[in-house]
Amino acid sequence: MAHPTQLGFQDAASPLMEELLGFHDHALMIVFLISTLVLYIIIAMVSTKLTNKFILDSQEIEIVWTVLPAIILILIALPSLRILYLMDEINDPHVTVKAMGHQWYWSYEYSDYENLGFDSYMMPIQDLTPGEFRLLETDHRMVVPKESPIRVLVSAEDVLHSWAVPSLGMKMDAVPGRLNQTAFIVSRSGLFYGQCSEICGANHSFMPIVVEAVPLENFEKWSSLMLKDA
């Protein structure tokens, strides 16, 4: 969960988010080195005699500033493509959840169970208990087992929405008439908060997402209770 004065991303709660954080640091370091080099060259050319005719017409420098950016692009592209392929990998999911966006709430349907589904609305401020987050809590959470592959099918009933949970590295557009899919593995128990990340209307900021990761035995107890109440 984000906190005041925080710099950087939320703590990773999935292997995919750990990969994204690593790639972010990798790309940031490259940008930092480029910025330092360019700043040094600008200062050197202003304060020294580097602006003489030999430097300005140097074939060697032209080769360097042509080849070096190509190498930098390769160093960024290769890990980026690797993560893109990892994000598309969906191998033998243990649980499949269909997330449907509405104006302005989410509904969840557990496809592996016959009658397990519910709507998830934002919790009214007057119903919050101490320790809960305003505008982020929901009356029903999406409960999943930790350390298990979870597939999420995402769509929408009305307009464009986007199902996003930053600490899990998840962001998938919900498009009416189209079924998109993504997958994740939660590496630890806890509550992970997200929101619709597509401007979907007047109450766009009032359709939060709460993913609750629990041990497998707790998930089985929860699903049994939900099926009894259905």
pLDDT digits (tens, 9 = 90+) for 183-201: 999 999 999 999 999 998 8
For Cα atoms 219, 212, 22, give the angle at the middle one, nearest 5 degrees: 120
Tell me what the mean pLDDT of segment 160-179 comes to: 93
Other CB atoms within a 10 A radius of the CB of residue 120 amount to 20
Structure tokens at 174: 């919900």
Local structure of residue 188 (DSSP, 8 states) = S
The model's confidence at residue 77, banded by pLDDT at 50, 70 and 90, is very high
The residues pairing with 156 across neighbouring beta strands, listed in sequence order, are 101, 176
**pLDDT score of 230:** 62
β-pairing verdict for 117-120 and 142-145: unpaired
In sign, the C-alpha dihedral spanning 93, 97, 101, 106 is negative
For range 218-222, the mean pLDDT: 92
Burial 7-39 (b: 16+ CB within 10 A, else e): eeebebbbebbebbbeeeeeeeeeeeeeeeeee
Q: What are phi and psi of 193, to 5 degrees?
A: -105, 145
For helices 15-47 and 59-88, angle between their N-to-C axes, nearest 10 degrees: 170
| Residue 55 pLDDT class (50, 70, 90 cuts) | low
Among 131, 111, 109, 119, residue whose Cα is nearest residue 207 = 119
Three-class secondary structure of residue 42 per DSSP: helix
Q: What is the overall mean pLDDT for the chain?
A: 88
Residues 141, 108 contacting (CB under 8 angstroms): no
Per-residue pLDDT band at 57 (split at 50, 70, 90): low
The one-character DSSP state at 157 is: S
Cα dihedral 30/21/180/229 (nearest 10): -170
pTM above 0.85?
no
Flag whether pLDDT at 2 surpasses 70: no
